[in-house]
Chain A
């Protein structure tokens, strides 16, 4: 795990009061940039979390789907080395490859959040909810897209926030920066992606994380000469593992941050 130097609490700048929310607010300057959040829904408001946070029931529009890739949940081999921050290395060594492998995720914007990565897939035009059923449906779509990458399993779904570029993450004291410019995709493209996940969940996820229909060696057992066939609903290792579930597939690249704690 990378060592993230926390800013000593006493040294942290005090969060200033957020400006009144009359339409989308601009990124504040100076101290006001500390821990600012940006809605991926409704009007995309920016401000302190307590000002922009919105109950799911009040969300009427989705502007982007965001996957919060938190390093604490990932195997350290995904961001090995010493160059730059761990999040930089995760992007350059691993995450950009995941994204490039899929025609939808290729359009995602990637932000260095200060501690991890925010993969932000903008949706254009924004999806307007006409009914409660629309919102429920998109809540499930967002959760499915989020789970197609090894993100934070505890992250919010529809009401998730990203950090605006240039804002400061108080945990690391680092500014949020752009690692990869993205472009919006149509709502239909998102729905098609989720439909693909529905039809072939294992094959789709394996395709993003490992790239091919037959992965050599098997990512689970890593035995010499082994391989795993990524089928629609499960993987099949003919060397040692036999049936490979989605959880086991994710398990090859994820870590338990609580493991080893007394």
Chain B
């Protein structure tokens, strides 16, 4: 960056002439090396060579970095999240995102470049000061240094939407150190007016949710209520980090009834991103890779296993889904490495299927949402707005309406839901919110859906049918006694 020295002294040149020429050269050199308007003030680290050698004690560099990466004032930009070190790119708005710079103990390929947004190394060179990004070799030492790792701000939950804290305070975008939640997105203002009265569930929904869901052919009112419950589960994902939330089971009576579309709409509203769909496969190893690849982007908290089916007609049963959906942390080994990908289980798990059965274990944790349409689905059109576009265009308002459910529930004294479920706390909370808002039929379809989805109950049904097909038994017909009203 140094400019050429044009002063060039010679014998007989008056000293002031040399001085003034040097002043010009120095000033122009300074201008070439000073930050231009708009240039960012980066953290400058010293004591490192481009080849990654420390020319000062390593610990000095670590201690030099700690106050810079963990600023006393202003939001931090480097966090630990699960087992990774992440860099927050682009402020806290809707365009912001978390980029992994160190997964478990391995520095990512992008780390030197990404962290150059924050810090660079400076070293005296032959032609002046040279600057370069922190070499990966050095980052590996620094980002795995225990004092630094422990000092970094920790994120327990990362969300791309405003979230409710443990005491149901709506957290705006930014880092919230007290609850270790990092929110990227746009602030919302919960919509809290009293919900409209109406006979049907749809009529009682707030206006935008009503428009969004009007075209979906939910089988019963309870199925629609359960879908709203699913959206509330996504909004309140941080309240179920211990894994105690249901897996959404979206079943259609035939292909093309809108199960996948409903999941995509759900993903767009919750994350602002059209979720990457995971093709279901009974091969757990392959499914594990697909889950990992989907979650590593960091943008998606809605996992959609699309069109789950078993070729042999066996029930859907996946150890990967069943174990990870209830785990506190989702931990999956990275392909071709000895390191794990890990993140908190703030994920909404959804499986779409067509009249398919699931294992009893999955059913017991299931949130059944059934869609049904009679006739050819190809000719079916949505009466309202196109759901994906509508969700994208009205995402913040839809989130505000969902947040309004939580606010009204709080105003009503936070009553619990009454419907039992294996995910007891989840059912109490989501059921309570829906009940307080005038939707008492949450999970009312559970028994009926269990009969349809649960392979064990189905086997029992086959047995009962076979027995009943024998006119002479083996069974005894009894007439139930009337009970007094």
Which A positions have Cβ atoms within 8 angstroms of B?
A: 73, 133-134, 136-137, 139-141, 143-144, 146-148, 150-154, 194, 197-198, 201-202, 205, 233-234, 243, 245-251, 254-259
Residue among A153, A246, A259 making CB contact with B25, cutoff 8 Å? A246
What is the distance, in angstroms, from A193's C-beta to the closest C-beta of chain B?
Answer: 12
Q: Are B21 and A250 in contact (CB under 8 A)?
A: yes
Hey, which chain A residues are within 8 Å of B10, CB to CB?
Answer: 245, 247-248, 251
Report chain A residues within 8 Å CB of B23: 143, 146-147, 153
Instruction: Name the CB-closest residue of A to B32.
Output: A198
Residues of chain B with a CB closer than 8 A to A255's CB: 14, 16
| CB pairs A–B below 8 angstroms (6 shown) | A137-B35, A144-B27, A246-B21, A249-B17, A251-B18, A255-B14
Nearest to A74 among chain B residues (CB) is B16
Closest chain B residue to A256 by CB distance?
B14
**A residues in contact with B13, CB < 8 Å:** 247-248, 250-251
Q: Is B4 an interface position by the 8 A CB rule?
A: yes
Q: Tell me if B28 and A247 are in contact (CB < 8 A).
A: no
Whose C-beta in chain B lies nearest to the C-beta of A194? B31
B132 to chain A, nearest CB (A): 21
Measured CB to CB, the nearest residue on chain A to B41 is A133
Q: Which of A139, A146, A247, A258 contacts B17 (CB 8 A)?
A: A247
Q: Report Cα–Cα, A28/B188, bound state, in Å.
A: 61
Considering the complex, give the chain B residue whose CB is closest to the CB of A75. B14
List the 10 closest A-B pairs by CB distance, nearest first.
A245-B8, A147-B24, A153-B19, A250-B17, A143-B27, A251-B13, A144-B27, A247-B21, A251-B17, A256-B14
Using Cβ atoms and an 8 Å threshold, which residues of chain A touch B27? Answer: 140-141, 143-144, 147
Are B24 and A148 neighbours in the complex by a CB distance under 8 Å? yes
Contact A150 B9 (CB under 8 A): no
B39 at interface, CB cutoff 8 A: yes
Interface residues of B in 351-393 (CB under 8 A from A): none
Tell yes or no: B477 within 8 A of A by CB: no
The answer for the CA separation of A139 and B31 in the assembled complex, in Å, is 9
A254-B14 contact, Cβ under 8 Å, with A133-B39, A143-B23: yes
State whether the Cβ of B95 lies closer than 8 Å to any Cβ in chain A.
no
Q: How far is the CA of A139 from the CA of B20 in the complex (A)?
A: 15
Question: Smallest CB–CB gap between A58 and chain B, Å?
Answer: 19
Which of A141, A150, A251, A258: most chain B CB closer than 10 A?
A: A251
User: Are B7 and A259 in contact (CB-based, < 8 A)?
Assistant: no
Report the bound CA distance from A139 to B39 in whole Å: 17
Please measure, in the bound complex, the distance between the C-alpha atom of A202 and the C-alpha atom of B9, giving whole angstroms: 14
- In the assembled complex, the Cα of A36 lies from the Cα of B475 at a distance in Å of 120
Are the CB atoms of B31 and A137 closer together than 8 Å?
Answer: yes
- Residues in chain A near residue B16, CB distance under 8 A: 73, 150, 152-153, 250, 254-257
B36's closest neighbor in chain A, by CB? A137
